[in-house]
Amino acid sequence: MENKRRVISNLGFLLQITGLFLILPIAIGLQNDELQPVASLVATCFFAFGIGFVLNSFCERKELDEKTSLWLMLAAFTILPLVLMIPYVWNNVFASANPFDLLTNAYFETVSAFTTTGFSFMANPDTLPLSLLFYRSLVEFIGGIGFIYILVAFLYPNKGLNVFAQTFGFDKIGDNLKKTFLSVMLIYTFIVVIFTGVFYLVYSQNFIVASTAAMDILTGGYQPNITGGIGIFHISIIFLMLLGSLNFNFHYNLFRLKLRNLLTPEIKLYLGIIAVATIIISILAWANPFDSLFNVISMASSTGLETFNVGSSPVAAKIVFILIGIAGGCAFSMAGGIRIQRIRTVIDAVRKKGDQPSREELKAVLVSIISFIAILIILSLAFSTIGLSFLDSVFEVSSALTTNGISMGITTIATPISYKWLLILAMIIGRIEIVTIFKAIRGVNIMDLMKSTVGGVSGAIWWLRRKLRR
240-286 pLDDT tens trace: 999 989 887 788 788 877 878 788 888 999 999 999 999 999 999 88
pLDDT of 150 higher than 80:
no
Return the sign of the alpha-carbon dihedral for residues 85, 5, 181, 19.
Answer: positive
pLDDT of 1 higher than 60:
no
Q: Average per-residue pLDDT in the chain? A: 82
Contacts of 31 (CB under 8 A, 6+ apart): none
Q: What is the mean pLDDT of residues 440-446?
A: 53
Q: What is the mean pLDDT of residues 292-296?
A: 92
Confidence of residue 148 (pLDDT cuts 50, 70, 90): low
In a domain, 352, yes or no: yes
Query: How far apart are the C-alpha atoms of 175 and 166, rounded to whole Å?
Result: 14
Backbone φ, ψ for residue 142 (5° rounding): -60, -45
- Give the three-class secondary structure for 156: coil
DSSP 8-state assignment for residue 403:
T
Q: How many domains does the chain have?
A: 1
Over pLDDT 70: what percentage of the chain?
Answer: 80
Confidence of residue 457 (pLDDT cuts 50, 70, 90): very low
Higher pLDDT, 452 or 209: 209
Task: Judge contact between 112 and 427, C-beta under 8 A.
Answer: yes
Query: How far apart are the C-alpha atoms of 150 and 145, rounded to whole Å?
Result: 9
- How many C-beta atoms lie closer than 10 Å to residue 359's C-beta? 14
Over pLDDT 90: what percentage of the chain?
Answer: 34
Q: What is the mean pLDDT of residues 391-407?
A: 90
Higher pLDDT, 111 or 332: 111
In a domain, 24, yes or no: no
Q: What pLDDT does 61 receive?
A: 57
Instruction: List, for residues 111-140, the tens digit of each pLDDT value.
Output: 998 888 888 888 788 888 999 999 999 998
Confidence of residue 60 (pLDDT cuts 50, 70, 90): low
pLDDT of 406 higher than 70:
yes
Query: How far apart are the C-alpha atoms of 136 and 93, rounded to whole Å?
Result: 12
- Give the three-class secondary structure for 209: helix
pLDDT of 423 higher than 90:
yes
pLDDT of 109 higher than 60:
yes
Contacts of 255 (CB under 8 A, 6+ apart): 187, 190
In a domain, 313, yes or no: yes
Higher pLDDT, 140 or 146: 140
Confidence of residue 404 (pLDDT cuts 50, 70, 90): confident
Confidence of residue 31 (pLDDT cuts 50, 70, 90): very high
Query: How far apart are the C-alpha atoms of 177 and 161, rounded to whole Å?
Result: 7
Q: What is the mean pLDDT of residues 209-237?
A: 81
Which span out of 141-155, 298-312, 372-386 was modeled with the highest average pLDDT? 372-386
pLDDT of 424 higher than 90:
yes
pLDDT of 454 higher than 60:
no
Q: What pLDDT does 274 receive?
A: 95
Query: How far apart are the C-alpha atoms of 350 and 321, rounded to whole Å?
Result: 26
pLDDT of 11 higher than 70:
yes
Instruction: List, for residues 340-383, the tens digit of each pLDDT value.
Output: 888 888 888 877 666 677 777 788 788 888 889 999 999 999 99
In a domain, 132, yes or no: no
In a domain, 136, yes or no: no
DSSP 8-state assignment for residue 258:
-
Task: Judge contact between 43 and 84, C-beta under 8 A.
Answer: no
Q: What is the mean pLDDT of residues 189-200?
A: 92
- Give how far the C-alpha of residue 16 lies from the chain's centroid of Cα atoms, to the nearest Å: 22
Domain extent for 358 = 259-411+433-470
Confidence of residue 322 (pLDDT cuts 50, 70, 90): very high
Confidence of residue 108 (pLDDT cuts 50, 70, 90): very high
Task: Judge contact between 265 and 278, C-beta under 8 A.
Answer: no
Confidence of residue 444 (pLDDT cuts 50, 70, 90): very low
